Amino acid sequence: MGTIKVGILGTGFGLVHAELYQKIEGINVKRIFGRKQEKLDEVRKKFGVDVTTDPNELIEDPEIDLIDVCLPTSIHLEYVIKALAHGKNVICETPLTYSLQEAQKMEHFARKYKQKLFVNLFYKYSPPHKMALDLIRSGKLGTPRSVTTYNRTPSFWENVGIEEIFLNFALHSFDFLVELLGMPSQVTARGIGNSKNAHVVATLNYFDQMATVDCSSMVPHGYPFSTGYNIVCSKGTITYSGEFGEEPKEQTTIYHENGKIEEINPTGENENQVVLEKVCRALKSNNSCPDLSIKAAIKSLKIALACNRALQNNCVVEI
């Protein structure tokens, strides 16, 4: 495959993708779909690409190789399946879906039509998370024993209330934990809040390991978006904290078993750009990309849904 021609569905996060595609050799954005013509006129001027208010113009275009679905989660299933049925490879934004059955349908149709379906599981490629994964996979810190992750945001985002926060805000933490520890055997969860904001804590149980995911949308406006982790291993511990407001700040510290303390500022490419580059390479070489696959997305979705059930029923849920 030579130059990969892309059609983007959506002018929200889709425009972030459009900017990143421009930085990747061998990818060309051919057309962008949006609902509002005024917004599309701005997009045409900025990116110099064709625009349309008809998504079928992208899906049915024989020249387009990859459909990038950046639409609301509630309609991902419709457009992912339609694109696959028209012989397109697909990358879909997260959350992929709120239903295990819908995710399995997507997986089924990708197999049926023999097309590649990628999911933007970008979190594990952010520099601090990728560094932790690489360090632990190297064996230098031994075996991970206990992992805590946290996320904080004011409730200016939609769908971060008590019924949806695990699916919309904790999903990438679950994907990160699957990379670190694999699938848990069971989960428990507690939380407080309402339909607009919430604070929830989930515990993922393994045979001889454990993980905690702590998520809150209850902090006030003005509080910076914050994320972090603490990974306790048999030969050391690694911690990370990041705040992303007017004055972003990040700190990563490794505590070695010999008492050495190491401060590191991990660097790397934008995590979404890394994902799009991996997709490009996979298409050009006709290879799979397991860490961005529908199978990987289903794993984190299963955990999120289990945590929701545990929270709603105040019980232990087996995975």
Q: Which two tokens stand for residue 92?
A: 């879909």
User: So what's the pLDDT on residue 245?
Assistant: 82
CA separation for the pair 20, 128 (Å, rounded): 20
Is the pLDDT at 263 greater than 80? The verdict is: yes
pLDDT tens digits along 49-81: 999 999 999 999 999 999 999 999 999 999 999
In the predicted model, is pLDDT for residue 131 greater than 80?
yes
CATH architecture of 123-269+302-318: 2-Layer Sandwich (3.30)
| CA-to-CA separations, 138 to 135, 142, 164, in angstroms, rounded | 5, 9, 36
Asked if residue 98 has pLDDT above 90, the reply is: yes
- Domain locations in the chain as residue ranges: 4-119, 123-269+302-318
* Pairing verdict, β 210-219 and 144-154: parallel
- pLDDT value at residue 247: 86
Cα separation, 104 vs 55, in Å, equals 24
Q: Is the pLDDT of residue 88 over 80?
A: yes
Integer Cα distance of 188 and 311 in angstroms: 7
pLDDT of residue 294 exceeding 90, the answer is yes
Question: Would you state the pLDDT for residue 269?
Answer: 85
In this structure, are residues 68 and 91 in contact, taking their beta carbons and an 8 Å threshold? yes
CATH 3.40.50.2300 at 4-119, yes or no: no
Average pLDDT, rounded, for the chain: 95
Q: Are 218 and 197 in contact (CB under 8 A)?
A: yes
Q: What is the DSSP letter of 9?
A: E
